[in-house]
Amino acid sequence: MNNPAIPYKIYLHEHEMPGQWYNMRADMQKKPAPLLNPGTKQPMTLEELSGVFCTELARQELDEATPYVDIPEEILKFYKMYRPSPLVRAYCLEEKLKTPANIYYKFEGNNTSGSHKLNSAIAQAYYAKKQGLKGVTTETGAGQWGTALSMACSYFDLDCRVYMVKVSYEQKPFRREVMRTYGASVTPSPSDTTAIGRKILQEHPGTTGSLGCAISEAVEAATTTEGYRYVLGSVLNQVLLHQSIIGLETKAALDKYGIVPDMIIGCAGGGSNLGGLIAPFMGEKLRGEKDYRFIAVEPASCPSFTRGKFAYDFCDTGNVCPLAKMYTLGSGFIPSANHAGGLRYHGMSSVLSQLYHDGYMEARAVEQNAVFEAAEQFARVEGILPAPESAHAIRAAIDEAIKCKETGEAKTIVFGLTGTGYFDMVAYQKYNDGAMSDFIPTDKDLEPGFASLPDLD
Amino acid sequence: MNNPAIPYKIYLHEHEMPGQWYNMRADMQKKPAPLLNPGTKQPMTLEELSGVFCTELARQELDEATPYVDIPEEILKFYKMYRPSPLVRAYCLEEKLKTPANIYYKFEGNNTSGSHKLNSAIAQAYYAKKQGLKGVTTETGAGQWGTALSMACSYFDLDCRVYMVKVSYEQKPFRREVMRTYGASVTPSPSDTTAIGRKILQEHPGTTGSLGCAISEAVEAATTTEGYRYVLGSVLNQVLLHQSIIGLETKAALDKYGIVPDMIIGCAGGGSNLGGLIAPFMGEKLRGEKDYRFIAVEPASCPSFTRGKFAYDFCDTGNVCPLAKMYTLGSGFIPSANHAGGLRYHGMSSVLSQLYHDGYMEARAVEQNAVFEAAEQFARVEGILPAPESAHAIRAAIDEAIKCKETGEAKTIVFGLTGTGYFDMVAYQKYNDGAMSDFIPTDKDLEPGFASLPDLD
């Protein structure tokens, strides 16, 4: 142990919890490109966005100027049920690796949704309730977001309709039951409850669904049902704003002990965790006050940062959502069927895409056997069974700690442990059985996705 | 909110964590009856017990005199990875119930084993390692104990062989995979790897196993394999000693804010959680310093306290384990097949049995639909999806809080939330589908169990 004065887990007191979210866009010189109306190809107005999202959330989506946004009292009250989350010093992992590096992880899995998704779900449910809505619709793939939203809606007594990718609905009945326990209705997607669902079923009978298709159904259901709006768990600017609570708490905990990280590592699917974790640190970097390395880690089989194009693209399969400028593999991209580790969205947050494009952060892709190897190593010494998504960040953190061992540098590494893997044991079983295969798409494999990109950039 | 000065979650600092376990027996005037050798019917000696358990654990099992036992440094280090666990003020539940009662729960589910079982698993693995053993054997039903032990063994690089009740092995593949991820070998019981397993398979072809049978197999495997010992997750005196960490932390957290509980509630299967939670409070009551109400909550379908006999009984089906004097339904008792909520052991900790017999605590039995109703109510307002076992305590806490509403008394209720229900979604699904039935055994239903009691009392 390098510094006995630093406890295993740094918990903030409730009165030390951040009372505001931080909006990175306010400090970006080059702002992310605006969302475009899929019909007119013009920037979405507040009025247009308010047809899809709650009005206050639409406002947050468009607000590039306000750096700090007060967290409403009701949301703070809910946060206090599971936050502040611990910042843990990975003493046992350091010892196992025999590294001089100091490793910390911000653990967001200590709540029933099992991940950081609850931070934004409760905010979106709150604004929906405040607007007097009856309910919200959303999609879910693996189920973390759907679970988080159903918990949030149950708290505010709001109706919650989840379109769950059919293959997950059937293969992950337990996730479905958690959502039902919280009172949500869960519909396997594609379904015959929407026009787009019926169209897809007719064109692709027997399809097991996709995230892009479930998004289209959820948006249609929201925009055609009185008193409903659509909510989304990642990618959007508003989600990154809410998730900044992760980074703000992390920074407050580090500051309390005078710790300055050298690098901050997060897994990246749509960018909600990474964007939230790095937010206040990136703010310092953007304002020229401090420098940090930021590392996004994505699966080699869904490499939007490292092999995608920086272009306007559709966010969903049905092309009913606004267009976003982002690193994307194309809305027609489908990850290999052998990919087990989540993070399978074709695009990436516009904010993070712009920051990556402008050289403020790095990205790397890792293969899944290496990811599960890191997951198992971490679980055995640190006690927590990580979500496969989170294990991407663990992989990179371990790799960096091993580099430190080689160079003898005592760098400080912070990574985001976004959640737990209790509902991902099918993937672990595959790994335990030695039946997990790696897959790096060839350029040819990526072509169909890129072919689906609109001609707009 | 009744007292804004008390935070939602009271976390102790690491330096406030207890450094000793507390042994209730030292303060009991009437000690629990000794374990008996199943062959000679004489009290087990240290030497005899050391053939089954690690020597230091056998010593702890027999030690009625020492009130405080130092927690070894290596165990404290592991504890710090997931402890201190939070004592949470259930503000949202109080508000929902509109009760003047102050409700607190000690939450032990924030670790990958998902329950308090890890507190004793790490201690038992430590003493096994210290003795230079190669490995340990155990049984597991629902899988919480097996998971905890596999985590502990993985930490100390000790071989871990788990006999898992066959029906659970098949119906709970995810629990099995968690254990495998931590490197344990998991064998469905009854198996052909032991003489007692082969005998049971021959006599009952196609049996799906039972806890009592898995215990017999694990004990046989330990006593016939060089360098192995048997470990158990509940019932034993040593387990209650280790689990006293729950109560000691709870008491330290309450004392910090000057809170004095009126009643302490815990679910009771073998007694490991309840015995640990109440330990230091019971100590005060035994020494005549303070008075508290202690309430054990058990399933109506496995009512060992409320309908069992206080008698010497076998701890396992194969009758290879020592005999214990306890409240028991008989080792031949099998809970109804429709029972979903855990806590299905036929007996009860000898310490708790003696205390209950001597009037130091109360017990009540609850039916499972009422238990799952409480679980769902709690999950929706407090955010945590509880293990069905823990929900027994929630049921009683809610019932007591409702009584307070009727009488207008602002009593302080503390209950143990032993774990999370992520691996119990089959039972939740049954409840969500309205397909769960209640069952109170008739006196006739209890007869076969009582008939299996040895003639010894």
- Its sign, for the CA torsion A362, A366, A372, A378, is negative
Per residue in A55-80, pLDDT (tens digit) is 999 999 999 999 999 999 999 999 99
Q: For residue B177, with 0-12 CB atoms within 10 Å meaning exposed, 13-18 middle and 19 or more buried, which class applies?
A: buried
Q: Both B120 and B105 in a single domain?
A: no
Cβ of residue B104 closer than 8 Å to a chain A Cβ: no
Distance CA A101, CA B197 (A): 50
Q: Both A307 and A387 in a single domain?
A: yes
CA distance to partner chain B, nearest, from residue A175 (Å) = 8
Amino acid (1-letter code) at residue B70:
D
- Comparing CB atoms, the residue among A82, A376, A422 nearest residue B423 is A422
- Given a contact cutoff of 8 angstroms between Cβ atoms, the answer to whether A155 and A125 are in contact is yes
Run of H or E including B137: strand B135-140
CA nearest neighbour of B146 among B170, B191, B190, B112: B112
For residue A147, pLDDT beyond 90: yes
Which of A95, A158, A177 should we substitute to test contact with B (largest number of B Cβ atoms within 10 Å)? A177
Distance CA A52, CA B334 (A): 55
Q: Both B322 and B186 in a single domain?
A: no
- Given a contact cutoff of 8 angstroms between Cβ atoms, the answer to whether B239 and B269 are in contact is no
Distance CA A323, CA A312 (A): 6
CA distance to partner chain A, nearest, from residue B309 (Å) = 37
Q: Both A121 and A110 in a single domain?
A: no
Structure tokens that stand for A411 in this block: 């760098």
Run of H or E including B175: helix B173-181
Residue with tokens 């206050």: A56
Cβ of residue B11 closer than 8 Å to a chain A Cβ: yes
Mean of pLDDT values over A143-150: 95
Task: Write out the DSSP string of B311-373.
Answer: EEEESSSSS-SPEEEEEES-TT----TT--SS---SS--HHHHHHHHTTS-EEEEE-HHHHHH
Q: Both A372 and A412 in a single domain?
A: yes
- Comparing CB atoms, the residue among B112, B114, B383 nearest residue A379 is B112
Chain A residue with Cα closest to B426: A174
pLDDT of residue A457: 54
Residue by residue, pLDDT tens for chain B (457 residues) are: 444 478 888 989 889 999 999 999 999 999 999 999 999 999 999 999 999 999 999 999 999 999 999 999 999 999 998 999 999 999 999 999 999 999 999 999 988 899 999 999 999 999 999 999 999 999 998 899 999 999 999 999 999 999 999 988 888 888 999 999 999 999 999 999 999 999 989 998 888 888 888 999 999 999 999 999 999 999 999 999 999 999 999 999 999 999 999 999 999 999 999 999 999 999 999 999 999 999 999 999 999 999 999 999 999 888 888 999 999 999 888 888 788 777 888 999 999 999 999 999 999 999 999 999 999 999 999 989 999 999 999 999 999 999 999 999 999 999 999 999 998 998 999 999 999 999 899 999 999 999 999 987 5
Counts of helices then strands in chain B (DSSP H, E): 18, 15
Q: Both A266 and A407 in a single domain?
A: yes
CA nearest neighbour of A83 among A56, A57, A120: A120
Residue that finishes a domain, picked among B230, B257, B275: B230
The strand pairing partners of B313, in sequence order, are B324
Give 3-state DSSP helix, strand, coil % of chain B, rounded to 5: 45, 15, 40
Domain of B63, in residue numbers: 27-70+116-230
Residue that finishes a domain, picked among B210, B230, B250: B230
For residue A232, pLDDT beyond 80: yes
Mean of pLDDT values over A334-356: 89
Counts of helices then strands in chain A (DSSP H, E): 18, 15
CA nearest neighbour of A346 among A393, A383, A377, A307: A307
Q: Which CATH number is A179's domain given? A: 3.40.50.1100
Residue that finishes a domain, picked among B175, B201, B230: B230
- Comparing CB atoms, the residue among A14, A112, A173 nearest residue B383 is A112
pLDDT of residue B51: 93
- Given a contact cutoff of 8 angstroms between Cβ atoms, the answer to whether B242 and B123 are in contact is yes
In a domain, A433, yes or no: yes
Average pLDDT, chain A: 94
Q: Both B262 and B286 in a single domain?
A: yes
- Given a contact cutoff of 8 angstroms between Cβ atoms, the answer to whether A449 and A300 are in contact is no
Q: Which residue has the higher pLDDT, A360 or B336?
A: A360
Spacing of C-alpha B233 from chain mean position: 7
Q: Both B146 and B54 in a single domain?
A: yes
- Its sign, for the CA torsion A272, A278, A280, A285, is negative
CA distance to partner chain B, nearest, from residue A280 (Å) = 26
- Given a contact cutoff of 8 angstroms between Cβ atoms, the answer to whether B140 and B162 are in contact is yes
CA dist B244 → A429, A435, B208, B279 (Å): 35, 43, 34, 6
In a domain, B310, yes or no: yes
In a domain, A206, yes or no: yes
Asked if A173 lies within 8 A of B429 by C-beta distance, the reply is yes
CA distance to partner chain B, nearest, from residue A14 (Å) = 7
pLDDT of residue B457: 55
- Given a contact cutoff of 8 angstroms between Cβ atoms, the answer to whether B356 and B457 are in contact is no
The strand pairing partners of A165, in sequence order, are A189
- Given a contact cutoff of 8 angstroms between Cβ atoms, the answer to whether A375 and A420 are in contact is no
Helix (H, G, I), strand (E, B) or coil at B255: helix
Q: For residue A357, with 0-12 CB atoms within 10 Å meaning exposed, 13-18 middle and 19 or more buried, which class applies?
A: middle
Structure tokens that stand for A334 in this block: 């489908």
Distance CA B27, CA B351 (A): 11
In a domain, A253, yes or no: yes
Task: Write out the DSSP string of A117-186.
Answer: THHHHHHHHHHHHHTT-SEEEEEESSSHHHHHHHHHHHHHT-EEEEEEEHHHHHH-HHHHHHHHHTT-EE
- Comparing CB atoms, the residue among B111, B376, B381 nearest residue A383 is B111
Q: For residue A398, with 0-12 CB atoms within 10 Å meaning exposed, 13-18 middle and 19 or more buried, which class applies?
A: buried
Distance CA A266, CA A274 (A): 5
pLDDT of residue B98: 98
Q: Both B275 and B424 in a single domain?
A: yes
Q: Which residue has the higher pLDDT, B321 or A363?
A: A363
* Alpha carbons within 13 A on the beta-carbon side of A121: 31
CA dist B59 → B29, B62, B127, B349 (Å): 20, 5, 11, 17
Structure tokens that stand for B207 in this block: 């049996």
Asked if B383 lies within 8 A of A151 by C-beta distance, the reply is yes
In a domain, B22, yes or no: no
Q: Both B78 and B57 in a single domain?
A: no
Spacing of C-alpha A108 from chain mean position: 12
Q: What is the ipTM of this complex?
A: 0.87
Orientation angle between helical segments A173-181 and A144-156, nearest 10 degrees = 10
* Alpha carbons within 13 A on the beta-carbon side of A144: 29
Q: Both B50 and B193 in a single domain?
A: yes
Structure tokens that stand for B76 in this block: 């404290």
Distance CA A456, CA A34 (A): 13
Cβ of residue B173 closer than 8 Å to a chain A Cβ: yes
- Given a contact cutoff of 8 angstroms between Cβ atoms, the answer to whether B106 and B85 are in contact is yes
Chain A residue with Cα closest to B10: A13
Per residue in A8-50, pLDDT (tens digit) is 889 898 899 999 999 999 999 999 999 999 999 999 999 999 9
Q: Which residues contact A267 (CB under 8 A, 6 or more apart)?
A: A273, A274, A296, A297, A298, A343, A389, A390, A391, A392, A393, A416, A418
CA dist A21 → A241, A282, A354, A427, B372 (Å): 6, 14, 20, 35, 37
Chain A residue with Cα closest to B384: A112
Asked if B385 lies within 8 A of A180 by C-beta distance, the reply is no
Domains: count for chain A: 2
- Given a contact cutoff of 8 angstroms between Cβ atoms, the answer to whether B227 and B133 are in contact is yes
pLDDT of residue A142: 81
- Given a contact cutoff of 8 angstroms between Cβ atoms, the answer to whether A169 and A176 are in contact is yes
Q: Both A176 and A205 in a single domain?
A: yes
Asked if B383 lies within 8 A of A181 by C-beta distance, the reply is no
Neighbour count for residue A185 (Cβ, 10 Å): 14
Cβ of residue A112 closer than 8 Å to a chain B Cβ: yes
For residue A2, pLDDT beyond 50: no
In a domain, B457, yes or no: no
Chain A residue with Cα closest to B7: A14
Q: Which residues contact B231 (CB under 8 A, 6 or more apart)?
A: B53, B54, B57, B121, B124, B125, B128, B136, B137, B138, B149
Which of A3, A156, A157, A385 should we substitute to test contact with B (largest number of B Cβ atoms within 10 Å)? A385
- Please provide residue A449's backbone torsions phi and psi, each rounded to the nearest 5 degrees: -65, -50
